[in-house]
């Protein structure tokens, strides 16, 4: 019970910071912009060509479900990464910079327990943020095109194509996809958390996380790295798209999330070892 009380206090402290809410505001604005482009601009023509080229009815599949999927796949890869790195890279480094950890460590609490509570708070924030994006994106899409229609999914990079004419099945797949994104993005937050445990500034932890992420993404897209794409972190993080397949290959999903889980554990342990050796008294 004490752990959950400490976690509650950590979450309260995390959500009391103004920068925690920057991502929420930025995503709402970006969702509005994306929906305006897809509703009024060239995005509508692009979706019409894409849907009709595959032999489906544009008016039925240009729906709130399809637009929500587009918002999620466009936004999480770049903008989501920035804010997850910002919040997770700040959670330990900022308190160290402000001197708060001197007071916290004066209490009878182990450094492992302290980091575990902070890591759990970061994971909860990451997961809840993904669902916030999915829910707000869907509500805005409903305002833009209505709630009727099916789900059209096409992701050439991951070789996923699926069409769900039933609204209920489409919504289930979106909820399952959002859950997958949440677990994938925890890896990014774990890396930022690891850097935050080092003796560096909060901004440096965020920049290092984004640098590793973008280098991983760039190298993965080089043709001569294609045979090794399964070893790239960002490719494994994209495995949530497979949850939209007609017949989900659960072994492939489990394999990818086991890989990411190993990375999460490694990032946490490296951060813990660095944090254990630091001197906060001087």
Alpha-carbon Rg for the chain, nearest whole angstrom, is 20
Three-state DSSP class for 78? helix
Q: What is the pTM of this model?
A: 0.90
pLDDT tens for residues 45-102? Answer: 888 888 888 889 888 998 889 988 988 887 777 777 888 898 898 888 888 877 777 7
Short-list 124, 116, 80, CA closest to 197: 116
Short-list 164, 122, 128, CA closest to 248: 164
What is the distance between the alpha carbons of residues 91 and 202, in angstroms, rounded to a whole number?
8
Decide if 75 contacts 30 (C-beta within 8 A). Answer: yes
Question: Within 10 Å of residue 221's Cβ, how many Cβ atoms?
Answer: 13
E strand or H helix that includes residue 211: helix 202-220
Name the token pair of 239.
């495995």
Q: Which residues pair with 151 in a beta bridge?
A: 164
The CA-atom distances, in angstroms, between 228 and each of 114, 222, 223, 225 are 37, 10, 10, 5
E strand or H helix that includes residue 154: strand 151-155
Kindly indicate the confidence band of residue 164, based on its pLDDT and cuts at 50, 70 and 90.
Answer: very high
Q: Does residue 156 have a pLDDT over 80?
A: yes
pLDDT tens for residues 255-280? Answer: 999 999 999 999 999 999 999 888 77
Give the single-character DSSP code of 167: H
């Amino acid at each position: 019970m004490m752990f959950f009380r400490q976690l509650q206090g950590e979450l309260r402290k995390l959500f009391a910071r103004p920068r925690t809410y920057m991502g929420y505001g930025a995503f709402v604005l970006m969702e509005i912009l994306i929906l305006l482009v897809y509703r009024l601009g060239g995005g509508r023509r692009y979706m019409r060509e894409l849907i009709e080229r595959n032999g489906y009815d544009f008016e039925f599949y240009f729906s709130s479900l399809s637009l929500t999927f587009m918002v999620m796949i466009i936004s999480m890869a770049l903008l989501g990464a920035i804010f997850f790195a910002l919040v997770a890279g700040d959670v330990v480094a900022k308190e160290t910079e402000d001197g708060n950890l001197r007071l916290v460590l004066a209490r009878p609490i182990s450094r492992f327990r302290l980091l575990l509570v902070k890591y759990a708070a970061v994971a909860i924030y990451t997961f809840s943020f993904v669902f916030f994006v999915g829910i707000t994106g869907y509500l805005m899409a409903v305002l833009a095109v209505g709630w009727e229609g099916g789900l059209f999914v096409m992701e050439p990079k991951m070789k996923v194509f699926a069409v769900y004419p039933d609204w209920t099945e489409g919504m289930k797949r979106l909820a399952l996809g959002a859950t997958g994104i949440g677990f994938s993005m925890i890896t990014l937050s774990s890396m930022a958390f690891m850097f935050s445990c080092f003796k560096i500034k909060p901004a440096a932890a965020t920049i290092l996380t984004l640098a590793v992420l973008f280098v991983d993404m760039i190298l993965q897209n080089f043709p001569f790295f294609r045979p090794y794409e399964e070893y790239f972190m960002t490719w494994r993080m994209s495995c949530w798209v497979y949850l939209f397949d007609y017949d989900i290959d659960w072994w492939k999903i489990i394999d990818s999330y086991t890989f990411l889980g190993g990375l999460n554990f490694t990032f946490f342990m490296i951060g813990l070892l660095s944090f254990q050796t630091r001197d906060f008294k001087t």
